[in-house]
Amino acid sequence: MRVSGAARFTDPERAPLIRKAFELIAESDHKSSFRLTTAMGLTTRSGRPLPKQTFSRMIRNEFYAGWIINNGTRIKGTHDPLISEELFARVQAKLNRGTPHKQVHEDFPLRGFVRCAGCGTKLTAGMAKGRTERYARYWCWQKGCVRPIGVSRDELEAQFKGLLSLMGPTAEFLAQIPVIAAREWEARKGRIARLRGAFQASRGTNHFEPKAHPRKVARGDFR
């Protein structure tokens, strides 16, 4: 059996906001997602203010990930999914867990912080199944990504620490700070002096001083 969902999803105005709603839940939570997307203009299909319950139903609707529930059977729709199944699953997990934020970030502190080199999407993280055990990994979940990043947690965190150490100021640099500051100050003083000079010069040329108008000499003056 085939059920076409394409006709059901002709909603180009709401589509980006609905996608944003899912992304925001994944990034923060249900509540702020509702607040932000409605503030950005997400309404009901008929353009009315979106009730909270409708929003809650919407973010649990598998239709947006490409699925259709028909008489209790879950089938792949023929419509283009609005969001990835991965994002949908993350959102559902989050909604079912309540407030899982802390736990997730303790395990994967770089999740949502490091971006994929292939497409720029923020990497997600989780436990990936290996042949014998589960591994903590970070990866790019973007379907269209041409060069999706997949990296073990240990490796990514080690690389990140390495990067931080590169960014830390060296003793040599710290010792230079007074010299740099003095040089900056001199340059700044020079700029101020030049500006002042230019200002005064312009005042000199544009300066208008009303001259006393000598009265015309009249014949009567010589009397």
CB of 176 to Zn ion, least distance (A): 39
Q: Does 145 bind Zn ion (CB under 5 A)?
A: yes
Q: Does 119 bind Zn ion (CB under 5 A)?
A: yes
Residue number, 30 or 122, with CB nearest to Zn ion: 122
- Is position 142 an interface residue for Zn ion (rule: CB under 5 A)? yes
Interface segment toward Zn ion; rule CB under 5 A; list 105-113, 136-144, 179-187, 201-209: 136-144
Closest residue by Cα to residue 149 from 159, 161, 138: 138
Query: Does 84 sit near Zn ion (CB under 5 A)?
Result: no
Is-contact 138 121, C-beta < 8 A? Answer: no
- Stretch near Zn ion under the rule CB under 5 A, chosen from 6-14, 34-42, 110-118, 211-219: 110-118
Residue 59 or 116 with smaller CB distance to Zn ion: 116
User: Min. distance of Cβ 78 from Zn ion in angstroms?
Assistant: 26
Considering only 16, 109, 112, 118, the residue that binds Zn ion (CB under 5 A) is: 118
Q: CB-wise, 33 or 142, nearer to Zn ion?
A: 142
Applying CB under 5 A, which part among 6-14, 25-33, 116-124, 203-211 lies near Zn ion?
116-124
The packing angle between helices 15-27 and 85-97, to 10°, is 50
Residue number, 109 or 148, with CB nearest to Zn ion: 148
Is there a contact between 50 and 21 (Cβ–Cβ < 8 Å)? no
Q: From CA 176, how far away is CA 195, in angstroms rounded?
A: 29
The answer to whether residue 17 forms part of the interface with Zn ion (CB under 5 A) is no
**Closest distance to Zn ion from the beta carbon of 27 (Å):** 17
Which of the stretches 12-20, 81-89, 92-100, 143-151 binds Zn ion when contact is defined by CB under 5 A? 143-151
The binding site for Zn ion (CB under 5 A) comprises 116, 118-119, 140, 142, 145, 148
